Amino acid sequence: MSIELPEKFENIVVNAKQEWLDTRGKTRDELRTLIEGRVIKDNEISPKVGEDAPDFEAEILDEQGKRTGDMLQLSSQIGLPIGLVFGSYTWPPFRDGAVRLDELAKSFGDKIKFFGVYIREAHAEGEDQVIRNLDEDIIFEQPETEDERAEIAATCMLRYNFSFPMLLDGMNNDAEYKYQSWPDRLYIISPEGKIAYKGGMGPLYFDVDEFTQELNKIVAA
């Protein structure tokens, strides 16, 4: 049973070139079914604005991206607004927004707690590689261990020198699943621990401008 897709995803299905479909071994109907599945799953699982923010525990990486063994429980940070930034290095839109997101975190200072959450790779080698990653020599296989995931996260962190802490989602992908945040996503959690802002599904609704506007509203409230 078909559902109505968000406009930008509908445009992907309608405007996908046959060559692009052929390289992925999919028909247009199969592409629609795949995206519909993502949307349905998102509607069923991801938290809605006003609901309690799902709790998760993740390891804190140091400034060099190395594992520390120290775990952070998201619920322990409730009290100030929290900005959650989910993504991975092999996802070009995440890289495109990285500098702006870091500048944003710096601009809010101690008014907002920012956390990056490093999740499974979006375009790992041998899965669904993209030309841009090949051009930029960003080629990594999908990690099978937390050490391997941390190594790629470190490469990302050293490139962008993030000023906010980066958390490593475990290999059970717990945080990613609870927030339906693959391949990237932005959330804001209120001081009361509620979802104050839920960015749309990546990649097409990864909107740093909208995220900024919502953060400003929360700080001004």
Q: Distance between CA 55 and CA 175 in Å, rounded? A: 8
| Reported confidence tier of residue 1, pLDDT bands at 50, 70, 90 | low
What pLDDT does 186 receive?
Answer: 98
Q: For residue 44, what pLDDT is reported?
A: 96
pLDDT at 8: 87
Residue 147 has what pLDDT? 97
**What's the pLDDT score for residue 168?**
98
pLDDT, position 3: 85
Question: Assign residue 181 a region: left if phi > 0, alpha if psi is -120 to 50, beta otherwise?
Answer: alpha
pLDDT at 179 (0 to 100): 98
CATH class of the domain comprising 49-220 = alpha beta
The pTM (predicted TM-score) of the whole model is 0.93
What does each C-alpha distance from 180 to 31, 159, 177, 183 come to in angstroms? 19, 26, 5, 9
Q: Which of 165, 178, 184, 175 is nearest to 60 (CA)?
A: 165
Say which range, 22-36, 99-113, 162-176, has the weakest mean pLDDT: 22-36
- Which tens digits make up the pLDDT trace of 48-78? 999 999 999 999 999 999 999 999 999 999 9
**Selection from 114, 109, 93 nearest residue 187 by Cα:** 114
Residues 6+ apart with CB under 8 A from 59: 67, 68, 69, 70, 71, 72, 146, 167, 168, 170
Average pLDDT over residues 198-214: 92
190 band by pLDDT with thresholds 50, 70 and 90: very high
User: Where in the chain are the domains?
Assistant: 1-45, 49-220
pLDDT of residue 127: 87
> With contact defined as beta carbons under 8 Å apart, do 152 and 140 qualify?
yes
Q: What is the pLDDT of residue 117?
A: 98
Question: What pLDDT does residue 130 have?
Answer: 87
Q: Mean pLDDT for the chain?
A: 94
What are the b/e assignments for 75-99, b being 16+ CB within 10 Å? Answer: eeebeebbbbbbbbbbbbbbbebbe
Is the confidence at residue 144, as pLDDT, over 60? yes
